[in-house]
Structure 1
Amino acid sequence: MTSTGSARTQDIPAAGSPLPNGHPAETQPSPAPVIPPPAPSFSVSATREVLVAALGFLEPRTLEAHSARDFCIWGLDGLTAIDPTLSVTETHPAPPTPLASAPSTAVAAEKASDASAQSPSVLTVLQGQTVIFSQPVPPADSNGAWAELVTAAMQAAWKQSSTLRDAGPDALLQGFFDELFNHLDPYSRYLAPAPALSDRTRRSGDTGTVGLTLGQSGRKIVIAAVNANGPAWEAGVDTGEHLVSVNGRTTHGQDAATVQSWLEGDNHTSITLGISSRGHRTTTVRLERTQVPPETVFASSDGPFTLLRVASFSTQTAEEVSQFLDQVVDDPTQTAPSTTSPGKKAAGIIIDLRGDRGGVLQQAVTTAALLLDHGVAVTTHGRNPLANHIWAVQGGDMTNGTPVVILVDGRTASAAEILASALADHRRAVVIGSETLGKGLVQVIGQMPNRGELFVTWSRNQAPLGWPIQGLGVMPQICTSLGTDSLQAQLAALREGHTLQGEAIQMARAARYPVPVAKILEIRKHCPAAIGSDSDMEAARALLSSPAAYRAALESVPDENSAPLH
C-alpha cells in the first residue's frame, strides 16, 4: 500500500544528550560488520568430470541409441530454462550461391559447397542478441570433446548471467539433465549430491536401531510395533509389552519420542532392554543395533482370510512376506477345514497392492517365487546386453496351493505390476480391481563424481505371456471400476463357470511391443484405472468363498500353450 502526504523525519539525539523523556542516551558500540558468505563459484574441472561420466554412462544404456551431440544439445536448453534471456543454437555453414551463367563459377561453387559440407557446425550461446559464446562442434560421438564444449558454454553463460549465478552451479547441472531427460522418458532423472545422499539414506539407512516403534500408556512406554526386519523381532519381542529400561536407564515418566531416540546409535553397537509384560517379571534382552530397512508388509485377518498389504518393494519385502506366509500356514485358525493336497492349506490370502508404486524388481520376483512352483516371472529387454534378462523362479509354493487374490488399482505400478502379472499369467492368483498404472520400464543407477546420481531407463518389462507392461498395465480378471451392477454380474457369471472379462483379458494378453497408443487406450477402457475402494475387498471375499468362481477367474487368463508366442 502506498501512502500520500508530506514525509516526516525523526530527529535522533546525539549520544549522551537527553532523550525526550529526560533520560540520557546510551552510547552503543558499533556493530561488527556482517561479512556475506562467499558466492558459489563455477568449477570447470568438476563440471567437466560429471559430464564426461554422464555421457559415458548414458550412451550404451538408453533404450534408444543417441549420440553425445544429441544429449548435449538437448541438455544445453537448461540454460534457457534458468535464464530465458539466454538461447543456444547450432548453425550449419551455408554454401555460397553459384552464378548460373558462368560454368566455371558453378564448378567453383560446387567445390566450395563440398568444403562447406565438411566444415563443422557452430554452437552459439546468445544473451538477447549478443553472442557470448561461439565454438565449432566436435564429432557427434566424441564424449570428451562434447563435455569440454558444454563446460565452456556453461562457463561463458555463468560469467554473463546474474540469474545463473543466483541459481548456483548445482542448478546448471540440474537444468542440463532435466532438459536432456525430457527427450527420453518420464522416469529417467538426475539427483544432485544433497538429494542423492538423502535418497541413498532412505534406501539403506545410515544409523543403527533395533526395529521397535514405541507408544505411551500413562507414564509407561509401550511397544507399539515390531519391525520384522529388525533384531527385536528375531529376539521375540512382542507388541503390547512394556519397555522398562534402556541400558539400565529407566523409561518411567519419559515420553515415547525421547526413549525412541535412546534406541538409535552406531551400527553393530550393543543395547540392553528391560522388557515386561502383564503378570510377568522384567526380562533383559541384549541386542545389536543394525540398519533396519523400512517395514513394507502389514498383515491382518479378514474372517478366515489373511490380508497382506504390501506398501512398496524394499530390500527385505520378500523376506517379510515369507515370514507372514509361514505364520498363515502354521496357524490352524486360518486353515481350510478340508484339503486334498498334502500339507496344510489356508482358507485364502489377499495381497493388497493398491497404491503400491513398486521398488526393487528382484524383490517382486522373489515374492512371486514364494507362491509359484516354477516358471518365468518377468523378462527384461533393452539395447544393452546386460539389460536383457529372464527372471525365472523355482523352489516350490510355500502355501501348498492356497487360493490367492491380488488387489490392484490405478496407482499400482512397477514391481507391484510385475508380481500381479506373474501370478495371474501363471494362473496362480486372481487380480481384482482396475487397470494399473502401466510402468514397465526399469532404471539403472549411475554414481557421478560429484556424488550425484543418474537414474536411466534401460529396459522394458515383459510379462510371462509375452505382453509389455509399459502403457498397458495389468488387466484384472475381475473389474471393480465399472460400477456395482457390473461387478455383481461378473461374480454371478464366474459362479456359473464363465467370465464377462474374457474379451478384455484376451486383448491385453495378445498385445505385443510396440503397442500403438490407440490400441492401449482401446484395451484399457474395458476396465478404467481408478482408486481402490471397499468393493475390491468385497469382491475378494466373495471370490474366495466360491471355489467354482475362483477357478473360473483363474482360467480366464490364457495358458502358456494357447497364448501367442513371445
Structure 2
Amino acid sequence: MRMIKRAAGAAALVFLGAGVATVLAQSNTSETYRQLNLFGDVFERVRAEYVEQVTDEQLIESAINGMLTSLDPHSSYLNRKNFQDMQVQTRGEFGGLGIEVTMENGAIKVVSPIDDTPAFRAGMQPGDFITHLNGEAVSGLSLNEAVDKMRGPAGSEIKVTVRRGEAGEPIEMAITRAVIKVQSVRFRTEGDIGYVRITSFNEQTQTGLEKAITTIQQEKGAALKGFVLDLRNNPGGLLDQAVSVSDTFLDKGEIVSTRGRKSEEGTRFNAKPGDMAKGLPVVVLINGGSASASEIVAGALQDHKRAIIMGTQSFGKGSVQTIIPLPGHGAMRLTTARYYTPSGRSIQQLGITPDLEVHQAKVEDIDQAARRRESDLRGALRNDTVSGTKPAPATTQPPAPNGDAPAEPGNGAAVNDNKPPFDYQLSRAVDLLRGIALYQARSTGN
C-alpha cells in the first residue's frame, strides 16, 4: 500500500567528502559523527581502489538503497525514473509485464499477476519465484533492480524463468512487454447476484466501484440479492482508495487505524453515513494474493460483520509506506506505520482469516447422457401425480446388475473445453448469497 506524502520542513541531509560528514539533523551526537566518518572512509576507499570505476551517483544511490532495504522488504530508494514509473502506476497505467512482486529471503516472489496482462496470459501465478531474466540469475539483485530489468519498451520480449513450489522444475516463459493499462474494477451479474472484481487500488478504483454498483442496481432492480466483492490476487495500492471502498459498504464506524513510531502520529479513518449497497448481503473473496489495501477492506467489513469473508488466508502485509520525494533526485519509500483493523487486529505476517475457508477446486461436468434414471428402467412405474405421464421408452443400455438400481458409468466425467473455467469459490459465494436471501425472505414472511 502506498500513501504519497510530500516532505514538510527541512529534511535531514548528509554531505560526504573525503572522510568528512556534515549532518543537518536533530541528532548530532559524537557517535553519529563517528559512524558517518566510517561511511565516508569506506566511500572514498571504494572510489579510489575498486577494480572498476564507479560513479559517485551509483555509490550514493546504492548506499541509500542498502540502508532502506535493510529495514524491511517494503522500504527502498526510488531513483528519478522509478519514481516517475511509480507515479504513473498509481494513476492506473504503466509499462512492463503486469505483475506485483516482493522480496522474500533474497528471492523475487510474485504476489500476483494483474488480470489481462502479458504475465497473466503467460500463466504466471501467485507464489512463483522468479529465478532468471533473459538467462541471467536475479540472485543478488535488489527488488528495484529486478523490476527495472523486467521493464522495457512495449513489444520487446523477455524470457522469465520461474520456480513453482518447493521442488518444482524451472518454467521458462517468453513474455512480450506491453503498456499495462489497469482497469481496476470489472463487474457483471451472476443471475440475481452482482459480481464486482477489484484488481488493484489506484486513483480510478472508487469511481469504477460506484459505476459498477449503480449499473448492477439499475439492471437488476428489486431482484438483486447481494454482491460478491472479489479481491483475490489484488496486491493492494493506495490507502485512500482502500478506505473509500470500505466506506462504500459501511454506514458508520472505524475503517482502519494507523500507528507510527510516535503514538501521537496515529490516524483513524471512519465511515461516513450511507451504504451504497443498501444493506444487501456481501461476500468478499480473498486468497494468498490478496495483500495490503485488500486486507484493509476485508478486515473492516469482517470486523463490522458487514460481509462474509470467503476463500483462503490472505498475504499478511500490515504496514504503510510513505513516498517522500527527494527534490532533484527521486524519492524514498519508507515504512512509517502499521495499520490495524477496527477491532485492533494487526494482520502483519498473519493475514486475514476467512470466515469460510474455501479452496479453489477443479470442477468437471458429468456427462448426464452416460447416467440412467428411474424412467430409463424397463417397466418403471409411471408418476401418478402428473396427468398424461407415460412410461419412458426403454433404454438401449443393459439393465443395472441387480435389476433395481442404475449402474455407475465407467467413465462419465467430461470437460467441455468450450466453456470458461469454472470458478468454484465464486460459485460458493453466489450460492451463499442466494441462501441468505432465501432465509431472510422466509424470516420476514415474504
- What range describes the TM-score normalised by the shorter chain of this pair? 0.5 to 0.7
Change (3 A) 1:390 1:54: farther
Identity %: 29
Aligned to 2:73: 186
Give deviations 1:281-317, integer Å, cap 9, x for gaps: xxxxxxxxxxxx9431111222221211101101221
Once the two structures are superposed, the pairs formed by residues 134-145 of structure 1 within 5 Å of their partners are: 139-141=30-32
Is residue 325 of structure 2 the alignment partner of residue 447 of structure 1? yes
Aligned to 1:361: 239
The one of 251, 261, 269 aligned to 1:391: 269
Give deviations 1:433-460, integer Å, cap 9, x for gaps: 1000000000111122442211111111
Change (3 A) 1:544 1:55: farther
SS of aligned partner of 1:307? strand
Higher-strand-fraction structure: 2
Contact in 2 for aligned 1:188/1:455 (Cα 8 Å): yes
Aligned to 1:158: 47
Aligned to 1:299: 187
Change (3 A) 1:451 1:383: same
Give deviations 1:498-527, integer Å, cap 9, x for gaps: xxxxxxxxxxxxxxxxxxxxxxxxxxxxxx
Give deviations 1:337-384, integer Å, cap 9, x for gaps: 4xxxxxxxx321111111100001111111111111101011111114
Shift of 1:170: 3.7
Aligned to 2:204: 316
Once the two structures are superposed, the pairs formed by residues 459-538 of structure 1 within 5 Å of their partners are: 459-481=337-359, 534-538=423-427
Contact in 2 for aligned 1:53/1:449 (Cα 8 Å): no
Change (3 A) 1:533 1:159: farther
Matches of 1:189 and 1:461 in 2, distance apart?
19
Once the two structures are superposed, the pairs formed by residues 101-500 of structure 1 within 5 Å of their partners are: 139-141=30-32, 150-151=39-40, 153-163=42-52, 165-166=53-54, 168-204=55-91, 294-331=182-219, 334-337=220-223, 346-384=224-262, 387-481=265-359
SS of aligned partner of 1:335? helix
SS of aligned partner of 2:202? coil
Q: What is the identity, as a one-letter code, of the residue corresponding to 1:171? A: Q
Shift of 1:475: 0.6
Two-structure CA RMSD over aligned residues (Å): 3.6
Shift of 1:480: 1.2
Matches of 1:52 and 1:335 in 2, distance apart?
69
Contact in 1 for aligned 2:194/2:228 (Cα 8 Å): yes
Give deviations 1:77-133, integer Å, cap 9, x for gaps: xxxxxxxxxxxxxxxxxxxxxxxxxxxxxxxxxxxxxxxxxxxxxxxxxxxxxxxxx
Contact in 1 for aligned 2:360/2:424 (Cα 8 Å): no
- What 5-or-longer segments of structure 1 have no aligned partner? 1-43, 60-66, 69-137, 208-292, 338-345, 486-531, 552-566
Higher-helix-fraction structure: 1
Matched positions, count:
284
Bigger Rg, structure 1 or 2: 1
Matches of 2:329 and 2:23 in 1, distance apart?
12
Q: What is the identity, as a one-letter code, of the residue corresponding to 2:188? A: S
Shift of 1:483: 7.3
Q: What is the identity, as a one-letter code, of the residue corresponding to 1:416? A: S
Aligned to 1:30: none
Matches of 1:395 and 1:374 in 2, distance apart?
6
Change (3 A) 1:549 1:377: farther
Change (3 A) 1:548 1:472: farther
Shift of 1:202: 2.9
Give deviations 1:38-87, integer Å, cap 9, x for gaps: xxxxxx99867xx999996xx9xxxxxxx89xxxxxxxxxxxxxxxxxxx
SS of aligned partner of 2:297? helix
Shift of 1:324: 1.5
SS of aligned partner of 1:374? coil
Q: What is the identity, as a one-letter code, of the residue corresponding to 1:159? A: A
Change (3 A) 1:206 1:430: closer
Contact in 1 for aligned 2:237/2:293 (Cα 8 Å): yes
Contact in 1 for aligned 2:234/2:291 (Cα 8 Å): yes
Aligned to 1:222: none
Contact in 2 for aligned 1:443/1:457 (Cα 8 Å): yes
SS of aligned partner of 2:31? coil
Contact in 2 for aligned 1:297/1:320 (Cα 8 Å): yes
Shift of 1:467: 1.1
- Asked which structure has the greater RCO (Cα within 8 Å, sep 6+), the reply is 2
Give deviations 1:223-281, integer Å, cap 9, x for gaps: xxxxxxxxxxxxxxxxxxxxxxxxxxxxxxxxxxxxxxxxxxxxxxxxxxxxxxxxxxx
Q: What is the identity, as a one-letter code, of the residue corresponding to 1:189? A: S
Matches of 2:437 and 2:22 in 1, distance apart?
58
Contact in 2 for aligned 1:170/1:192 (Cα 8 Å): no
SS of aligned partner of 1:373? coil
Give deviations 1:364-412, integer Å, cap 9, x for gaps: 1111111111010111111145641111112210121111111110010
Change (3 A) 1:449 1:306: same
Matches of 1:427 and 1:201 in 2, distance apart?
36
Contact in 2 for aligned 1:430/1:550 (Cα 8 Å): no
Change (3 A) 1:550 1:433: farther
Matches of 2:269 and 2:85 in 1, distance apart?
30
Change (3 A) 1:326 1:351: same
TM-score by structure 1 length? 0.45
